[in-house]
Amino acid sequence: MKKGFLFALVVLLAACNSKKPGSNDSTTPGNATTQMKDINSPYPVNYSSKFVMDDPKNAETLLSLWKDWDNGDLSKSRDKFADTIEMHFSDGTIFKGSRDSILADGQRMRNTMKNVESRVDAIMAVKSTDKNEAWACLWGMEKSTDAKGKTDSSFVQETWRFDTSGRANLMYQFRAAPPKPMK
């Protein structure tokens, strides 16, 4: 099942990056020029359905944030956050406040864990053309070990918004438990 999902994900990502020979439809990093066709949705789309691939710098910033979390030193993340940030965590907790507050709270939480190892399955940087906002979306898995040695794993999906200076100012997080082994 895992191999099938991973194969499907790789095929999907490759299809998203494929380009027909001779096509003038190209996007260069930092210059999102390929406009997505309008989506005919039976549901109202509250935020946007007009996205294009964007400069990878925000995806790289997000990967760096994840690595700082894994390494247990959030002080290296300070310049990657805007002065104020809003974070919606998978447990329903919402944080709105200053960069220094989120880093202090995050470091306290991270200090309760002996070890964190993350796996990134997919990441992309996109831009909402009708809102003129830059986002990075990441899918992966996190395995953590608490101070008593108990391990826990979960699939994670995070969507981060970045301001015009490339600093994170909004995050939405979703988690799911991995399937239990069959007996």
Domain parsing of the chain, residue ranges: 50-176
Query: Hey, which residues does 31 pair with through a beta bridge?
Result: 28
The lowest-confidence range among 6-15, 129-138, 170-179 is: 6-15
Verdict on whether the full-model pTM lies above 0.75: yes
Tell me, what's the pLDDT at 34?
60
Q: Kindly indicate whether the domain formed by 50-176 is annotated with CATH number 3.90.1150.10.
A: no
